[in-house]
Amino acid sequence: MHPRRLFTVIAALPLLWAAGTATAQTEEPGWAKGRPKANDSAMKMAPVPAFPIPTAADQLPTKKFKLPPGFKVETWASGVLDARAMRQGDKGNVFVSTLFVGNKVYVLPEKATDGKREPKVIIDKTEQATGIEFHKGSLYFATHKRIVRYDNVEDKLANLGEPSKVLKDDLPGGSDHSWKFIRIHNDRLYYPVGAPCNICDPGQWAKIFSMKLDGTDIQTVASGVRNTVGFDFDPKNGNLWFTDNGRDWFSEELPNDELNVVTQPGKQHFGYPYCHQGNIPDPEFGWGKSCDDYQKPAAFLGAHAGSLGLKFYTGKMFPAKYQGAMFIAIHGPWNRTKKYNGVYVAYPDGKGGAKVEPFMTGFVENNNYLGRPVDFLVMKDGSLLVSDDHAGAIYRISYGK
């Protein structure tokens, strides 16, 4: 057996065991709540395990990707195990976070040496090390339990030391939708706290919050948000757009993940757990509720799509139609028989809606994932980086006739 396949099988064993024995346990894992126990196909489904080692550079699926005419894609960095969120420092350093496999944060140089970029670990052995943001020389770092800040980070890459400030240390933690995606806008830090389950009453959570950069003045930005792991601000009007992962086990084709826009911060409820995709009442929590009472999605993103990163394109390299459009990473479903994923682009219509279409495909072969896109970074030259946590790589998209 090829070493890569062996490692994949080993990584899958715990999840397969969990899937096969969930019914024998008193308490199911959160992702299994709502799974139809009478259906053998459903009972075999479980979250897709990430590779425990990054894919070798010469085995990456880069040459299989398909893009619109005039665009090209190349491998920007390989060997970046579990690559998730990306941010760039003032001095060109690219910071990359991880999630379940990596438990670390890397830094990579903007310029390659001898055609390669070697990831350097600057934060290690930290559970759910996912949320990162760079702002005015500081690296903001969010796990499922706390949010901290490292100042003057690019001058201390050899040893970050302890955080300069702890902004929040009472996040609920847990394993269901608790990992973070963060951004800073107008000197406020935005972060989500997802629902602590597949489907349940989330209590005070399932929201997007914001705080001042010193950790004070916490405000609710949006409610009824099951699990957002990607959002950005429209450079034209400042509105917050976000992806949201729909509930599991409703059916293979429903509900859709959502693309949403916040136009009235703190006043909009996006439906969870009562209403899904704006028009389907939940069979358990929707009784006595009306979907008309909740904010409608701007667009559907596909059933169980695993919609993650979202980034407005602010560069100048791409053609005019992409200026002000959003790139969205569809990570791909796990509790759906037919797999699909890729990079999509969404065009706001100016009326609260958006048109969504595929942009980069080729991540799936024979109904198996070759890679799974997560996040984006617009580089200074206008090219676009795409992280892939499944293959442990970062790709660069450029345009030139």
Q: Which residue has the tokens 């959502």?
A: 258
In a domain, 396, yes or no: no
Average pLDDT, the chain: 92
For the cut 80, the answer to whether the pLDDT of residue 132 exceeds it is: yes
Provide mean pLDDT across the span 294-321.
Answer: 97
What's the CA gap between 29 and 19, in Å, rounded?
A: 9
In a domain, 270, yes or no: yes
Provide mean pLDDT across the span 376-393.
Answer: 97
Q: Give residue 34's pLDDT band: very low, low, confident or very high (50, 70, 90).
A: confident
Contact between 298 and 353 under an 8 Å Cβ cutoff? The reply is: yes
In a domain, 74, yes or no: no
In a domain, 400, yes or no: no
Q: Give residue 26's pLDDT band: very low, low, confident or very high (50, 70, 90).
A: low
In a domain, 381, yes or no: no
Closest CA to 369 of 389, 387, 396, 345: 389
pLDDT for residue 401: 64
In a domain, 198, yes or no: yes
For the cut 50, the answer to whether the pLDDT of residue 325 exceeds it is: yes
Do 294 and 233 lie in a common domain? Answer: yes
In a domain, 377, yes or no: no
Residues listed for the chain: 401
Q: Give residue 15's pLDDT band: very low, low, confident or very high (50, 70, 90).
A: very low
pTM for this predicted structure? 0.91
Do 27 and 100 lie in a common domain? Answer: no
Do 207 and 353 lie in a common domain? Answer: yes
Residue 43, domain extent: 1-49
DSSP string for residues in 142-188: E-SS-EEEETTGGG-TT---S-SEEEE------SSS-----EEETTE
pLDDT for residue 120: 97
Provide mean pLDDT across the span 249-257.
Answer: 94
**Stretch among 30-44, 88-102, 113-127, 382-396 having the lowest mean pLDDT:** 30-44
Do 225 and 339 lie in a common domain? Answer: yes
Q: What is the dihedral of CA 195, 199, 200, 205, to 10 degrees?
A: 10
pLDDT for residue 9: 39
In a domain, 283, yes or no: yes
Provide mean pLDDT across the span 174-195.
Answer: 96
Residue 170 φ then ψ, to 5°: -125, 30
Q: Tens digit of pLDDT for each residue in 284-305? A: 999 999 999 999 999 999 999 9
**Stretch among 3-17, 106-120, 195-209, 352-366 having the lowest mean pLDDT:** 3-17
Q: Give residue 373's pLDDT band: very low, low, confident or very high (50, 70, 90).
A: very high
What's the CA gap between 225 and 216, in Å, rounded?
A: 22
Do 309 and 235 lie in a common domain? Answer: yes
Q: What is the CATH number of the domain that holds 214?
A: 2.120.10.30
Q: What is the dihedral of CA 343, 348, 354, 360, to 10 degrees?
A: -10
DSSP string for residues in 20-71: HHGGGSSS--GGGTT--TT-HHHHT--PPPPPSSPPPGGGSGGGG-B--TTE
